[in-house]
Amino acid sequence: MKKVINLDDKKNIIEIVLGGDSFIISRVVLRMRDMYASYIKLSADYLQQVEKENDKEKLSEVAEEYAYKKAEMLDDMLFKLLEDNGYEYNKIWWANHVESYNDIENFIVQALMKDTDPEAQKKTAEAMKI
């Protein structure tokens, strides 16, 4: 007798609508969560640098470097998330259908939160408004 246990059973599925298209997200793998943790660390490090930097020219360089790295990391995470869920990542489509990187970040966060307890989701949503 053969018993099959499907640990790939997609329990929590969300639909995210952005730019007039709908995306069904069912898989958020550990690697994606690690990528997001690295992104959060980058953001925290940037804020620390901004707080301690007094030189406006240096501050401008730090901000520019952060902006490029942030865009690159969001792009990599979006690619991973879409490919893992069966979508082909079309960078041109995204550039033409989102208003800012904040939209992409919010898309990623919503996907990451799909398996999170609703009470924790509410706290995260409130924290993001600050």
pLDDT digits (tens, 9 = 90+) for 110-123: 999 988 766 665 66
- Whether 129 shows a pLDDT value over 90: the answer reads no
Secondary structure element (H or E) that encloses residue 25, with its range: strand 21-25
- Whether 48 shows a pLDDT value over 60: the answer reads yes
- From residue 75, alpha-carbon distances to 2, 52, 65, 82 in Å are 43, 28, 15, 11
Please name the amino acid found at residue 45. Answer: D
- From residue 103, alpha-carbon distances to 3, 56, 79 in Å are 43, 29, 15
| Lookup: tokens for 106 | 């919010």
What percent of the chain shows pLDDT beyond 70?
Answer: 85
Provide the whole-model pTM: 0.81
Average pLDDT for residues 58-74, to the nearest whole number?
93
Q: Where are the domains of the chain?
A: 20-104
DSSP secondary structure code for residue 100 in this structure: S
- Whether 7 shows a pLDDT value over 50: the answer reads yes
